Amino acid sequence: MIDVTERVAVVTGASRGIGRDTALALARAGADLVLLARSEDRLRAVAEEIERLGRRALPLRADVTVAEQVTAAVTEAKRQYGRIDILVNNAGITRDGLLLRMKREDWDAVIETNLTSVYLCCQAVLPHMLRARYGRIINITSVLGQMGGAGSTNYAASKAGIIGFTKALAREVASRNITVNAIAPGFIETAMTEALDEKRRQELIASIPLGRVGEGRDVAAGVVFLASEAAGYITGQVLNINGGIYM
Ligand SMILES: NC(=O)c1ccc[n+]([C@@H]2O[C@H](COP(=O)([O-])OP(=O)(O)OC[C@H]3O[C@@H](n4cnc5c(N)ncnc54)[C@H](OP(=O)(O)O)[C@@H]3O)[C@@H](O)[C@H]2O)c1
């Protein structure tokens, strides 16, 4: 059954975009939420939406690149809810640029936010899942981590790194009934993609077999499935939610 009733889910980057839609979808499917991001006001607004759906929501300000802030948030979540069943590593950024001109700070920021954060959040949450002998970890990678994209060496490397990380951790924790999977979205309409100029956008749409850009809820549906009881025999996989742009 696609059901996450009574489960507690931590979603990083839950203040907007795919993370917000994912948090709302998990709440609709019955989960209580822990919402992490840096923008406190936005997190509070998402928490209020979740509470209106009849579920609990705990907004916690945390920069996922800072180990102490991740640990403090996970400790607070455990204190308030007593358990953590689901972790969605969704926080991410882009700092696009051609390699020859890419500044070291743009390389580091993308690797730290997109990849090191996955290491930090998994390390903080895993002890609780191991003790409970139950867990669902879902890492948001990208089609660009699978097929590359000019101007995104830092982003593509971080997202390809997530795929390797997902498979390695899936093997490490499978015996404890913890699954670890990745979702690779294609082109999804959010703040991250609205910077594209109209010409590039139309070219992209023309290359998508399903003929449209995706929405946050397309990705959220995949997260809810992988977080559910129904997906208990799926681990170490990459679920492509991309309109067919990469098969
Ligand atoms: N949109 C797409 O087409 C697309 C395609 C493939 C993959 N993805 C991936 O999907 C995920 C979500 O993307 P999106 O499009 O929804 O992006 P978005 O609208 O820009 O949202 C990014 C989220 O990450 C949070 N975040 C960024 N840096 C953070 C940090 N250091 N600490 C904590 N939170 C941080 C942001 O919150 P604060 O700013 O409040 O901290 C925000 O909630 C990303 O991993 C992205 O790479 C997106």
Question: Strands across the sheet with 57-61, in order?
Answer: 57-61, 32-37, 8-12, 86-89, 135-140, 178-185, 238-241
Structure tokens at 63: 């920069």
Residue pair 141/183 in contact by the 8 Å Cβ criterion: yes
Q: Residue 2 pLDDT > 80, yes or no?
A: yes
CA of 17 to the centre of ligand 1 (A): 7
CA of 141 to the centre of ligand 1 (A): 11
Pick the closest to residue 132 from 99, 90, 178, 193 (CA basis).
178
pTM over 0.95: yes
Supply the mean pLDDT for the chain.
Answer: 97
Q: Domains along the chain?
A: 8-240 (3.40.50.720)
pLDDT of residue 195: 82
**Which of ligand 1's atoms lies nearest the C-alpha of 213?**
3
Q: Is 233 a catalytic residue?
A: no
pLDDT of residue 65: 98
Q: Whose CA is nearest to atom 42 of ligand 1?
A: 13
Q: Whose CA is nearest to atom 46 of ligand 1?
A: 92
Alpha-carbon radius of gyration of the chain: 17
**Which of ligand 1's atoms lies nearest the C-alpha of 159?**
47
Q: Residue 222 pLDDT > 80, yes or no?
A: yes
Residue pair 179/234 in contact by the 8 Å Cβ criterion: yes
Q: Residue 123 pLDDT > 90, yes or no?
A: yes
Pick the closest to residue 45 from 63, 23, 12 (CA basis).
23
pLDDT of residue 40: 97
Residue range 22-74, pLDDT digits in tens: 999 999 999 999 999 999 999 999 999 999 999 999 999 999 999 999 999 99
Helix, strand, or coil (residue 23):
helix
Alpha-carbon gap, residue 53 to 22, rounded angstroms = 14
pLDDT of residue 193: 83
Q: Whose CA is nearest to atom 30 of ligand 1?
A: 63
